[in-house]
Amino acid sequence: MEMTIHNPVMVNEVVDGLDCQPGKAIVDATLGSGGHALAILGKLGEAGVLVAIDKDERAVTLARERLRSFQNVHIYRLDWSELNSVLNLRVDGFLMDLGLASFQVDDPSRGFSYKLDGPLDMRFDQRDSLTAAGLVNRLSERELTSILRDYGEEPHSRRIARSITEERRRGRIETTAHLAQVVRKAVKGNPKKSLVRCFQALRIAVNGELSKLREVLDHGIDILRPKGRICVISYHSLEDRIVKSVFRELSNSLLNVLTRRPIVPSREEVIRNSRARSAKLRIAEKNG
């Protein structure tokens, strides 16, 4: 299947936020298909270096092809928990774009979208054993309620969890279309927001996104040189809350927060790329 090139969000704002200049060392901790990396490399010059990581094999393959003309980029397929194995250096910038890439959302075989029928997978890293189907078919009603409530902020979490457990008595729920059907039956009126929230919650649970985010933020800030910048793009309130909290806790003592309010995409960018509409960019500089 041909991979869709992902449109990176707020490219200019990220390049400016990282203060990309020739000779600097930057880490892209969420490489994706390499959109932000391409823009960053264009500013670093031959003397600069970009270290880029992603745990999605397809992302790494696509980014390597896209960035093949650059000799000063080092790409690794790693989980966030493995950052210490390659990031034992001091850097001038650290970027995290926490959104899904278009090639992930638009591939039915990955199971990220309720709009496309495919296996209920949702893994970023295909080496992991846990899938969304595993959670949906194994967890108790109480556990499913907690995931949908805590990771999706879904007001109908209990009703949907009950509907899932009742449905799987008739047979396993293995596809995105089957799960979406169950959610639609459980929610009165327009179920679109509930579908978005439920799929988000399961994706977060499968990949342990929130549990790892604080650790990665701390590590990224730790390896920054004085006056180094950290930029984080989040797409829902749970992520943004963690980023905001970390920046606030370290404000004055370790960080100078440069965005008291997050930067959001321009109206023109949202028109060009509707998936950018919920993005929020927060930037902080390490005290020197």
Mean pLDDT value across residues 178-182? 98
pTM of the model: 0.92
pLDDT in tens, 90-116: 999 999 999 888 899 999 999 999 999
pLDDT of residue 2: 42
Structure-block tokens of residue 223: 């390896």
pLDDT for 6 equals 62
In CATH terms, 123-207 corresponds, of 1.10.3720.10, 3.40.50.720, 1.10.287.610, 1.10.150.170, to: 1.10.150.170
Nearest to 288, CA basis, from 216, 229, 240? 229
* Cα 155 from Cα 37, distance rounded (Å): 38
pLDDT of 1 reads: 38
CATH code, residues 11-103+209-286:
3.40.50.150
**Domain boundaries in the chain?**
11-103+209-286, 123-207
The C-alpha atoms of residue 40 and residue 51 are separated, in whole angstroms, by: 11
Average predicted confidence (pLDDT) for the chain:
94
Phi/psi for 195 (5° steps) reads -65, -45
User: 267 CB contacts (<8 Å, ≥6 apart)?
Assistant: none
Distance CA 268, CA 26 (A): 28
| pLDDT (tens digit per residue) in 114-166 | 999 999 999 999 999 999 999 999 999 999 999 999 999 999 999 999 999 99
Task: Give the model's confidence band at 52: pLDDT under 50 very low, under 70 low, under 90 confident, else very high.
Answer: very high
The kind and range of the H/E element at 53 are: strand 49-54
**Token pair recorded at residue 263:** 């930067």
Distance CA 145, CA 71 (A): 49
Closest to 59 measured CA to CA, from 105, 119, 111, 18:
105
Domains 11-103+209-286 and 123-207 agree in fold:
no
Residue 33 near residue 7 (C-beta atoms within 8 A): no
